[in-house]
Amino acid sequence: MFDSPGTGVAIVLAVLAVFVIIVVVRAVRIIPQARAGIVERLGKYNRTLNPGLTLLIPFVDRLLPLLDLREQVVSFPPQPVITEDNLVVSIDTVVYYQITEPRAATYEIANYIQAVEQLTTTTLRNVVGGLNLEEALTSRDQINGQLRGVLDEATGKWGIRVSRVELKAIDPPLSIQDSMEKQMRAERDRRAAILTAEGTKQADILTAEGHRQAAILKAEGDAKAAILRADGEAQAIQKVFDAIHAGNPDQKLLAYQYLQTLPKLAEGSSNKLWIIPSEVGEALKGIGGALGNLVPEDREAPRPPAP
């Protein structure tokens, strides 16, 4: 059948080499970091492979698909939920989970992702069903905490730990959204009106305070000016008085000064009555006497014409 014995030996050696390669490939496995492998021997669970190099018995041991031990994130589609006040809201959820027990995650549940999704939907409906719309919109932390507690307790036997549950969005019906938008717009308008009124009030207060300060400063300035003016007049009078007394004035000079002062006493439209001091009378007598001395004795004064 073979051309020569050497050719037959070569074919056998080649088949053996291929067989050895296949055995080595199936026997040697390298598990990456943060991965885990489940080994079944003759269809029964044998052991869990940790990261590193390991050896399997070819055609006896079977390595199942590796499991990722890192924390994973799964986002579920929006779910309709009825609130306590009979409103249907759409809620998006995100679940953060991690496989802690590869054996349980493999044999205790067929599809843990689908199981987590269904459990999240059921728990979410139970939690949100006891809240009205306003509480559901403002109590996200409370809902997240309740969801995480229920999911973590239920998935513990599956070898999964739920670390966090987040609500991405809570969308109420369109009619409710329009009403909420109108309410928020009215609230913003009210706050804007309050802020405007408060600003106007503060501006009026500051303006009034400025006017008051200006009036106070003006009054203080007028008072200081009056004081300085009075001081100046007092000093001027004192200087005039000192100059008059230093010049030793006679009766005629004083009488002349009185006569110059009399027209000033009658100035002003409101001066109906004014009183002449007695010193003025004495001064007028002195002036009359002085003027009498100036008239010649031999000259008679002209007589007034007969009526």
Q: How many other CB atoms are found less than 10 A from the CB of residue 265?
A: 13
The pLDDT, as a whole number, for residue 86 is 85
Tell whether the model's pLDDT for residue 29 goes beyond 60.
yes
Q: What is the mean pLDDT of the chain?
A: 79
For the chain, percent of residues with pLDDT exceeding 90: 16
Residues of the chain with CATH 3.30.479.30: 71-172
Q: Which two tokens stand for residue 277?
A: 């001091």
Return d(Cα 241, Cα 243) in angstroms, integer: 5
Which tens digit of pLDDT belongs to each residue from 253-288?
Answer: 666 666 666 666 566 565 555 555 555 556 556 555
Contacts of 136 (CB under 8 A, 6+ apart): 83, 89, 128, 143, 170
Backbone angles phi, psi at 297, to 5 degrees: -70, -35
The pLDDT, as a whole number, for residue 296 is 47
Tell whether the model's pLDDT for residue 297 goes beyond 80.
no
Count helices and strands in the chain by DSSP H and E runs: 8, 9
Q: Which two tokens stand for residue 208?
A: 């009034």
Tell whether the model's pLDDT for residue 35 goes beyond 90.
yes
Return d(Cα 286, Cα 270) in angstroms, integer: 31
The pLDDT, as a whole number, for residue 295 is 45
Confidence of residue 66 (pLDDT cuts 50, 70, 90): very high
Mean pLDDT of 210-238: 85
The pLDDT, as a whole number, for residue 51 is 92
Which tens digit of pLDDT belongs to each residue from 83-125?
Answer: 888 888 888 889 999 999 999 999 998 888 888 888 888 888 8
Q: Which residue has the higher pLDDT, 39 or 170?
A: 39
Which tens digit of pLDDT belongs to each residue from 142-188?
Answer: 888 888 888 888 888 999 998 888 888 888 877 776 766 777 778 88
The pLDDT, as a whole number, for residue 3 is 52
Specify the fold of 71-172.
Tetrahydropterin Synthase; Chain A (3.30.479)
The DSSP-derived string for 75-94 is EEEEEEEE-TTS-EEEEEEE
The pLDDT, as a whole number, for residue 4 is 60
Q: Which residue has the higher pLDDT, 266 or 246?
A: 246
